[in-house]
Amino acid sequence: MFKRLLASLAGAAFIGAVGAGLPAQAQDYPTGPITVVVPFSAGGPTDTVTRLVAESMSKSLGQQVIVENVGGAGGTLGAARVAKAEPDGYTLLLHHIGMATSATLYRKLPYDPKAAFAPIGLVTEVPMVLVARKDFPPNNLQELITYVKEHKDEVTYANAGIGAASHLCGMLFMQAIETPLTTVPYKGTGPAMTDLLGGQVDFLCDQTTNTTNQIKAGEVKAYGVFADQRLANLPDLPTVKEGGLEGQSFAIWHGLYAPAGTPEPIVNKLSEALKAALADQTVIDRFAELGTAPVPADQATPAALQQKVTSEIDRWKPVIEAAGEYAD
């Protein structure tokens, strides 16, 4: 915190010395490579989204934007790493709904999700799909619900740890069918998908960015999408509501953050680079193939992301408390 105070005082002093000009480090930013931390393993949905955005941002920033995977504890280890990083614009975090759910799930979170970060902007909202290994006996959602209830002590559900999107989706599913199941935690749903394809784990709720290709290739069985209507890239996949599963539809929103105390001109420059990446046709086309789309430009802003984090903490708090599942 002391470093942050010094950084902001230095910035203020510099502005005072040279009038309204930008602090030197902001004026020339970026003068070197930028690291974006993904708080999950490589090869998963968060990693996929981040690598597409990072590659495009590096074009407009004129510097390498490097992705670093820091998995563990449902995304909170990677988030904690960035919360403690120098607020100089060279260490960022791309995280998702877990930023909000972890606020309730973790009793001793090593950072305050509302204050430890300088939000840069929202990125995308990705639908969740229920998939299973391809030789799993049920052939539709109703059969799956019946099967897991009858085999509740044998079936295994994969997730990326408490606080992950796959954890939240699984928690809602188990609440809806009133059947707790054995969960197998991974550092990301990249490795979870590998085990699903290998038949080592039975089923998983994951984002379309990590399931579309496997569904289209017939490598996994898909049972439903947690959305109000079917997806354009998977028109034959029913919604879970069509399959008879009541409950709220939700999508996994993703945001880009810097550590709190990062000078505002740097945050604004990053927000502009994020908007340019979200307007990049390559990013738009790849997102569409994977069942998602960039947020509108007015959502790729610090204010929009701050508001999302705050409102989502409030939204999920009672749902998580009703489930009564916490992490220490």
Tell me the closest approach of the beta carbon of residue 42 to ligand MLT, in angstroms.
9
165 contributes a contact to ligand MLT by CB under 6 A: yes
Cβ 266 vs Cβ 29: under 8 Å: yes
CB of 89 or CB of 163, closer to ligand MLT: 163
Q: By CB under 6 A, how many residues form the interface with ligand MLT?
A: 14
The residue among 172, 181, 73, 186 whose CA lies nearest residue 128 is: 172
Q: DSSP string covering 267-319, please?
A: HHHHHHHHHHHHT-HHHHHHHHHTT--BPPGGGSSHHHHHHHHHHHHHHHHHH
Among 44, 78, 87, 255, binds ligand MLT (CB under 6 A): 44
CB of 72 or CB of 224, closer to ligand MLT: 72
CB of 188 or CB of 255, closer to ligand MLT: 188
The residue among 86, 100, 69 whose CA lies nearest residue 250 is: 100
Q: At a CB cut-off of 8 Å and minimum separation 6, what does 107 contact?
A: 326, 327, 328
The residue among 111, 149, 121, 108 whose CA lies nearest residue 326 is: 108
Taking phi over 0 as left and psi of -120 to 50 as alpha, with beta for the rest, 72 belongs to: left
CB of 58 or CB of 189, closer to ligand MLT: 189
255 contributes a contact to ligand MLT by CB under 6 A: no
Using the contact rule CB under 6 A, the part of the chain among 84-92, 185-193, 224-232, 286-294 near ligand MLT is: 185-193
Using the contact rule CB under 6 A, the part of the chain among 9-17, 43-51, 56-64, 266-274 near ligand MLT is: 43-51
The strand ranges marked E within the chain are 34-38, 65-69, 91-96, 117-133, 156-159, 182-185, 203-207, 220-225, 251-259
Give the integer Cα–Cα distance in Å for 153 and 133.
18
164 contributes a contact to ligand MLT by CB under 6 A: yes
Cβ 134 vs Cβ 219: under 8 Å: yes
Using the contact rule CB under 6 A, the part of the chain among 187-195, 225-233, 265-273, 312-320 near ligand MLT is: 187-195
> Degrees (nearest 5) of the Cα angle 19, 20, 25?
100
Binding mask 192-231 for ligand MLT (x = CB under 6 A): ---------------x------------------------
Q: At a CB cut-off of 8 Å and minimum separation 6, what does 57 contact?
A: 34, 65, 270, 273, 274, 276, 277
CB of 207 or CB of 211, closer to ligand MLT: 207
CB of 207 or CB of 301, closer to ligand MLT: 207
Among 188, 263, 294, 302, binds ligand MLT (CB under 6 A): 188
Cβ 280 vs Cβ 55: under 8 Å: no
CB of 139 or CB of 182, closer to ligand MLT: 182
Binding mask 124-163 for ligand MLT (x = CB under 6 A): ------------------------------------x---
Tell me the closest approach of the beta carbon of residue 261 to ligand MLT, in angstroms.
27
The strand ranges marked E within 166-303 are 182-185, 203-207, 220-225, 251-259
Among 56, 124, 189, 214, binds ligand MLT (CB under 6 A): 189
Binding mask 266-295 for ligand MLT (x = CB under 6 A): ------------------------------
41 contributes a contact to ligand MLT by CB under 6 A: yes
Residues that bind ligand MLT (CB under 6 A): 40-41, 44-46, 98, 160, 164-166, 188-190, 207
